[in-house]
A and B are shown apart, each in its own frame.
Chain A
Amino acid sequence: MKQSRSQRALGRLLPTLVLIASAIFFAFPLLAMARFAFQNLQVIDLGWNNLFEKWSFSSITASFSDDFFAEALTLSLKLAVGTALFTLGLLIPTAVWVHLRLPKARVFVEFLTILPYVIPAIALVAGIVVVKPHARWFLNSDYSLIPFYVVLALPFTYRSIDTGLRAIDLKVLVEASRSLGSTWIATLFRVVIPNLRAAIISSTFLTVAVVLGEYTISDVLLKRTFPSFMAQYRQSDPRGGYALAILALLGTTLLFVAIGVLSKSRSTRPQQVSRSQENEILV
């Protein structure tokens, strides 16, 4: 009995230890990066004794005043919005159609959407290089990045929408809407989309995270997006570059926290009325 109690205690302790070890594993490099970016000390002088000394935001404020900072950030934000809209416009009708009319094709579509995750972005870049001479009119525009970002974000965004659709009784809701006189478009906007709120929020944030982190394609196409700017800025001012990286990381983390909070607020609805309560109400 004693042994089983100690085993249970170990069972409870072990996950906590793993969690702490993982936290340390992730936190230490970030802490080191933050010290490098925000402490006005020579790298060689950084030690435990001066952990709390000479912290300053000067490196990041200097990067804000760079001529290209606002331009790059604005472009990336515009691209994020464009990519999110394009993704939702493409994915929601497609996923709804697959769920309703081609349920057997779901596995195939899932496989297709995971390809960008399996095939590295550099392969997509190789493809772009081949078609570049024939599609300059398109690739010259900054917004030509949007279709590429849509593809890159697909493994995350499709899963998010797909999960949202699985969580509702799509077929019945669509048929109920149709029987009440709604066209397909009205059904999509009045029934499907409002009930995919959490999935759409999560898909949008994931898209934004992908756009704010993608470097390879924008660099090949010579677009000055925020990640490209960060990479270039790091070459001239390494501390400022890493400070920007931390800022981007913080932004992405906040997006994921927001996904968690918003998804949770959907799932913490009051419980369905129980059968016994129902009998009291109705009989």
Chain B
Amino acid sequence: MTSLSFTGIRKTFGTTVALESFDLALQPGELVSLLGPSGCGKTTALRIAAGFEIPDTGVVSLGESVITDTPAHRRNMGMVFQSYSLFPNLTVAQNVDFGLRNRKVEKAKRNSRVGEMLELVQLGELGKRYPHQLSGGQQQRVALARALAVQPEVLLLDEPLSALDAKVRSTLRDEIRRIQTELKTTTLFVTHDQDEALAISDRIGVMSNGRLEQLGTPEDVYLRPASPFVARFVGSINELPNSNGVGKILMRPEDITISENENELTMRGTVTRVTFQGPVTIISVRVDINDQLVNVHAASGSIHVQVGDRVSLAVTPGRGIVEAA
């Protein structure tokens, strides 16, 4: 039994193909992130789910029902947008009440639901304020409460954190995950921020050029990327020459270590930069074999090297992904 599913979706805008052969099925209660660079089609997929775009071909289903052509207002989905979308003429409480009024819920129930939702997003005291009296983070919390108030079958989040600064973003990210887990609402989360996707998701769909490159758990996507694109897009990557001379091996910086031994499996190089980043220090080494720059992540304080030092690099066997030439 799936919740929201896309089957064989194709969507074009003029001559631009936004989505091609797009298949995705969300299990009830899970949070799936669509991750990819700008223009990869992730937002188009979300807008198709919301009913704001109609696919050229393919089927969108919600449980057993096909909703491909169902108008947006009949889909029972909650959506939080990238930009602040609260209705400026309504108070916080009236914003949260908006969808409930549309569903003709009786007043007493509406009031209690609005209160519950505002408590859930920890803004119980601010019901009488107007959106312009709230911070960006508070506005997005209210938008979340508003979307959840109608008990949607699917919650759609369109980069809801991207307008916020780093500290608020991380707090609200954890908050979204807490609420989603608590309410067990099936959620489709669109983001271009890999840290966000890795931290919040049950599964991540990495997209490129309108196609789903890989769908898997955050560990799968990071540790076992299905393609060079996924390896490059999620996390940092080093491109090392293949020992047989054909193509490249893509390695994570943490899978390369500075070795004290020198043998046929190590590469020699010169340290060109040492960047302290708190718990991790990034050591950049220009390797002799192909003059490429290789980044190594080392626990800060564990290794003491300086710019100009000659070092040997060892790779963890079985962790690279081979990219054919």
**A197 partner residues in chain B, CB cutoff 8 A:** 89
List CB contacts (< 8 Å) of B124-152 with chain A.
132-138, 143, 146-147, 150
With both beta carbons as reference points, the residue of chain A lying nearest to B72 in the complex is identified as: A178
Give the interface segment out of A1-9, A110-118, A272-280.
A272-280
> When the two chains form their complex, are residues A191 and B138 in contact, meaning their CB atoms are under 8 A apart?
no
CB B111 to nearest CB in A, in angstroms, measures 17
**B86 partner residues in chain A, CB cutoff 8 A:** 176
**B76 partner residues in chain A, CB cutoff 8 A:** 181
> When the two chains form their complex, are residues A283 and B135 in contact, meaning their CB atoms are under 8 A apart?
no
A173–B75 alpha-carbon span in the complex (Å): 17
Chain B window 165-204, contacts with chain A (Cβ cutoff 8 Å), 1 for yes, 0 for no: 1011001100000000000000000000000000000000
**A58 partner residues in chain B, CB cutoff 8 A:** none
Cβ of A29 under 8 Å from chain B: no
Q: Is the interface of A mostly helix, strand, loop or mixed?
A: helix
A191–B88 alpha-carbon span in the complex (Å): 9
A139–B103 alpha-carbon span in the complex (Å): 46
> When the two chains form their complex, are residues B79 and A175 in contact, meaning their CB atoms are under 8 A apart?
yes
Given contacts A168-B88, A278-B137, A283-B171, contact A179 B50 (CB under 8 A): yes
A179–B144 alpha-carbon span in the complex (Å): 13
A180–B150 alpha-carbon span in the complex (Å): 8
> When the two chains form their complex, are residues B85 and A186 in contact, meaning their CB atoms are under 8 A apart?
no
Partner of A283, one of B75, B134, B150, B167: B167
Cβ of A182 under 8 Å from chain B: yes
Partner of A172, one of B74, B81, B156: B81
A250–B167 alpha-carbon span in the complex (Å): 56
Cβ of A177 under 8 Å from chain B: yes
**B138 partner residues in chain A, CB cutoff 8 A:** 273, 278, 281-282
**B87 partner residues in chain A, CB cutoff 8 A:** 173, 176-177, 190-191, 194-195
A272–B133 alpha-carbon span in the complex (Å): 6
With both beta carbons as reference points, the residue of chain A lying nearest to B98 in the complex is identified as: A180
Partner of A176, one of B51, B81, B132: B81
Q: How many residues of A contact B (CB 8 A)?
A: 31
**A182 partner residues in chain B, CB cutoff 8 A:** 73, 98, 102
List CB contacts (< 8 Å) of B39-80 with chain A.
50-52, 71-79
Cβ of A169 under 8 Å from chain B: yes
**A173 partner residues in chain B, CB cutoff 8 A:** 85, 87
> When the two chains form their complex, are residues B83 and A172 in contact, meaning their CB atoms are under 8 A apart?
yes
A175–B171 alpha-carbon span in the complex (Å): 26
Among A180, A197, A277, A279: residue with most chain B CB under 10 A: A180
> When the two chains form their complex, are residues B77 and A272 in contact, meaning their CB atoms are under 8 A apart?
no
> When the two chains form their complex, are residues B103 and A272 in contact, meaning their CB atoms are under 8 A apart?
no
> When the two chains form their complex, are residues A279 and B168 in contact, meaning their CB atoms are under 8 A apart?
yes
With both beta carbons as reference points, the residue of chain B lying nearest to A280 in the complex is identified as: B135
Partner of A175, one of B81, B99, B146, B167: B81
**B98 partner residues in chain A, CB cutoff 8 A:** 177, 180, 182, 190
Partner of A278, one of B78, B136, B147: B136
> When the two chains form their complex, are residues B88 and A277 in contact, meaning their CB atoms are under 8 A apart?
no
Partner of B135, one of A179, A183, A281: A281
Among B73, B75, B77: residue with most chain A CB under 10 A: B73
**A179 partner residues in chain B, CB cutoff 8 A:** 50-51, 72-73, 75, 77-79, 147, 156
Given contacts A182-B73, A272-B132, contact A176 B79 (CB under 8 A): yes
**A191 partner residues in chain B, CB cutoff 8 A:** 87, 89
Given contacts A172-B85, A183-B73, A270-B132, contact A282 B168 (CB under 8 A): yes
**B84 partner residues in chain A, CB cutoff 8 A:** 169
**B79 partner residues in chain A, CB cutoff 8 A:** 175-176, 179
> When the two chains form their complex, are residues B72 and A175 in contact, meaning their CB atoms are under 8 A apart?
yes
> When the two chains form their complex, are residues A269 and B132 in contact, meaning their CB atoms are under 8 A apart?
yes
With both beta carbons as reference points, the residue of chain B lying nearest to A193 in the complex is identified as: B89
A170–B4 alpha-carbon span in the complex (Å): 28
**A181 partner residues in chain B, CB cutoff 8 A:** 73-74, 76, 99, 102-103, 150
A272–B136 alpha-carbon span in the complex (Å): 8
With both beta carbons as reference points, the residue of chain A lying nearest to B156 in the complex is identified as: A179
**A269 partner residues in chain B, CB cutoff 8 A:** 132
**A272 partner residues in chain B, CB cutoff 8 A:** 132, 135-136
With both beta carbons as reference points, the residue of chain A lying nearest to B130 in the complex is identified as: A269
CB A283 to nearest CB in B, in angstroms, measures 6
With both beta carbons as reference points, the residue of chain B lying nearest to A274 in the complex is identified as: B135
A168–B88 alpha-carbon span in the complex (Å): 9
A186–B71 alpha-carbon span in the complex (Å): 14
> When the two chains form their complex, are residues B132 and A278 in contact, meaning their CB atoms are under 8 A apart?
no
**A281 partner residues in chain B, CB cutoff 8 A:** 135, 137-138
With both beta carbons as reference points, the residue of chain A lying nearest to B126 in the complex is identified as: A281
A175–B134 alpha-carbon span in the complex (Å): 21
**A169 partner residues in chain B, CB cutoff 8 A:** 83-85
A-B contact pairs, 22 of them (CB 8 A): A168-B88, A169-B84, A175-B79, A176-B81, A176-B86, A178-B51, A178-B71, A178-B72, A179-B50, A179-B72, A179-B73, A179-B75, A180-B147, A180-B150, A182-B102, A273-B133, A275-B168, A277-B135, A278-B168, A281-B135, A282-B172, A283-B167
Task: Knowing that A275-B135, A282-B137 touch, tell me 9 more A-B residue pairs with CB under 8 angstroms.
Answer: A172-B85, A179-B79, A180-B73, A182-B73, A194-B89, A197-B89, A278-B165, A282-B168, A283-B171
A-side interface residues toward B, CB under 8 Å?
168-169, 172-173, 175-183, 186, 190-191, 194-195, 197, 269-270, 272-275, 277-279, 281-283
Q: 6 closest pairs, A vs B, by CB?
A: A278-B135, A180-B99, A181-B102, A273-B135, A194-B89, A176-B85
